[in-house]
Structure 1
Amino acid sequence: MTEVFKFKEFEVQQSQSAMKIGTDAVLLGAWINIPESTQSILDVGAGTGILGLQMAQRSFAETIDAVELDSAAYEECVDNFENSPWGDRLFCYHFDFKNFSKEMDEKYDLIISNPPFFKVSENISTEERNTARSQSELSFEELLKGVNQLLTLTGNFAVVIPYEREKEFIEMATQFNLFPNQILNVRGQFNSKIKRSLINFCREKSSIEIDELTIEISRHNYTTEYIELVEDFYLKM
């Protein structure tokens, strides 16, 4: 795994972060609808800072914050923010999101997260990866509770989760006055099962726009739809 991942408009150092650059985060950052009125964005569980950097490239939001618990990932995220063209708009907090959401007075127009979703009992290769990708540090309920506290009344919350947990997550979100209005179901290839759900939530109930995306026709032979979605970021497609 390369320690520096080069995108079209920025680079991401990833030698310290337990979770490296992956398709989930890049897809979410490319897919999210960002209204022109969006002035403040928060990324929960920043890791390398990839989502914050994507938001900076795609928007004119004056405030793009991130929160990251792991010390090594936090330091790497800060470096990636400072070395980007948008360092003046990006800031990362070294904080536990459960406490951050209680203590932060500011509200955000858009909150995004590629959250931990492996259950603690599942076998994950390293302790750091376990923390970054398990719900031992931040459960779905804790994530949604914090989002509810920090999201503006007209704001949006976007997340990527395993497809098999889509129904559970949506039902849980309604308890925090968050309702889905857009869903993108993602499968690797045409003959493979749906693997991920990208979901956008808002404060008001409405009809749900549901789409589907297939990433590859065959290994490294990408679909037109996938290329069009991520082409502003990846150097080679």
Structure 2
Amino acid sequence: MSNQAFKFKEFTVEQDKCAMKIGTDGVLLGAWVPLSHYPKSILDIGTGTGILALMMAQRSEAFLIDAIEIEENAYEQAVENFENSMWGDRLFCYHADLNEFAEEMQDEEKYDLIISNPPFYSPPLPVASPPRGEKFSEARKIARFNDALPFEHLVRGVSFLLSEDGIFSVIIPYAEEEKFISLAAKENLFPQKITRVRGTEKSELKRSLLNFSFHKTGTEEDELILEISRHNYTEEFKKMVAPFYLKL
């Protein structure tokens, strides 16, 4: 994976210190998250490079955007990316795991929006990873495998930190959707919107974008197709990410 900085239209993300580089999932979530409730405070759980928090700074008027990151190098990189952006006065990163952070913040004001692009994979390592001849660093394991942030811990932490009328937005594998919704329900978090993502019209569902709240209402469901053919993106996807990608 490239260590080169990733340049967006309004900010640049350095990623040489981070185990997990900029990918479609993070950008997709950051562009998709509905902001119709005009959040004043936002929390990004497992920020990595800081990409999601930076996208929220560009898209929203939130006066406070916090991020937490457990891996030290990624934490330092996120701090650097925040400081080098035009929104440095609104962006703050904490070097902590979610349980520690939730415990310390439980008596503080809750967040109006919580976002997360959490680790997807469960150990042992997937057959296709890492690349031939390489070994997973501890940092990459933390970024990649959900034993570092189990879904149960994620939804529990969110339940402590989310405001009464707040929104929790997350991207997960489609195969994990039913399980994740069940876990969230145990913490009184219910899906408001679900967008299921396909690479192309004929490919299988790959990801689920989910919005949760403490209010049990009807669930809006739709699909998003990313490409018509290789690097030939659908108009819907281009419209979503055009405010960020340089070439769109």
Given that residues 191 and 219 in structure 2 are in contact (C-alpha distance below 8 angstroms), is that contact kept between their aligned partners in structure 1? yes
Given that residues 141 and 172 in structure 1 are in contact (C-alpha distance below 8 angstroms), is that contact kept between their aligned partners in structure 2? yes
For residues 101-160 of structure 1, give each alpha carbon's deviation from its aligned partner in whole angstroms, at most 9, with x where no partner exists: 111133100000000120021334213222111112110000000000000000000000
In 2, Cα distance between the equivalents of 1:36 and 1:168? 27
TM-score in terms of structure 2 length: 0.93
For residues 61-108 of structure 1, give each alpha carbon's deviation from its aligned partner in whole angstroms, at most 9, with x where no partner exists: 000000000000000000000000100000000001111111113310
In 1, Cα distance between the equivalents of 2:76 and 2:24? 22
In 2, Cα distance between the equivalents of 1:59 and 1:196? 24
Partner of 1:12: 13
Unpaired runs of 5+ residues, structure 1, are none
Code of the residue aligned with 1:117 in structure 2: it is: F
Q: Does 1:194 align with 2:205?
A: yes
Partner of 2:133: none
In 1, Cα distance between the equivalents of 2:19 and 2:118? 13
Unpaired runs of 5+ residues, structure 2, are 131-135
3-state SS in 2 of match to 1:98: helix
1:134 pairs with one of 120, 145, 155: 145
| Offset at residue 34 of structure 1 (A) | 1.1
Partner of 1:57: 58
Deviates further, 79-88 or 116-125: 116-125
Equivalent positions of 1:11-160 (< 5 A) are 11-104=12-105, 105-123=108-126, 124-125=129-130, 126-127=136-137, 128-160=139-171
Given that residues 98 and 138 in structure 1 are in contact (C-alpha distance below 8 angstroms), is that contact kept between their aligned partners in structure 2? no
In 1, Cα distance between the equivalents of 2:161 and 2:33? 18
In 2, Cα distance between the equivalents of 1:212 and 1:37? 24
Deviates further, 27-36 or 52-61: 27-36
Deviates further, 156-165 or 122-131: 122-131
| Offset at residue 2 of structure 1 (A) | 4.6
For residues 156-201 of structure 1, give each alpha carbon's deviation from its aligned partner in whole angstroms, at most 9, with x where no partner exists: 0000000001000001100001000101100111111010000000
Structure 1's consecutive aligned runs of 4 or more residues displaced over 4 angstroms after TM superposition are none
In 2, Cα distance between the equivalents of 1:209 and 1:82? 37
Percent identity at matched positions?
Answer: 55
CA RMSD of aligned residues (A): 1.0
Partner of 2:243: 232
2:223 pairs with one of 193, 199, 212: 212
Given that residues 64 and 90 in structure 2 are in contact (C-alpha distance below 8 angstroms), is that contact kept between their aligned partners in structure 1? yes
Given that residues 38 and 60 in structure 2 are in contact (C-alpha distance below 8 angstroms), is that contact kept between their aligned partners in structure 1? no
In 2, Cα distance between the equivalents of 1:120 and 1:103? 29
In 2, Cα distance between the equivalents of 1:94 and 1:5? 23
Code of the residue aligned with 2:208 in structure 1: it is: S
In 2, Cα distance between the equivalents of 1:122 and 1:76? 25
3-state SS in 1 of match to 2:82: helix
In 2, Cα distance between the equivalents of 1:34 and 1:188? 25
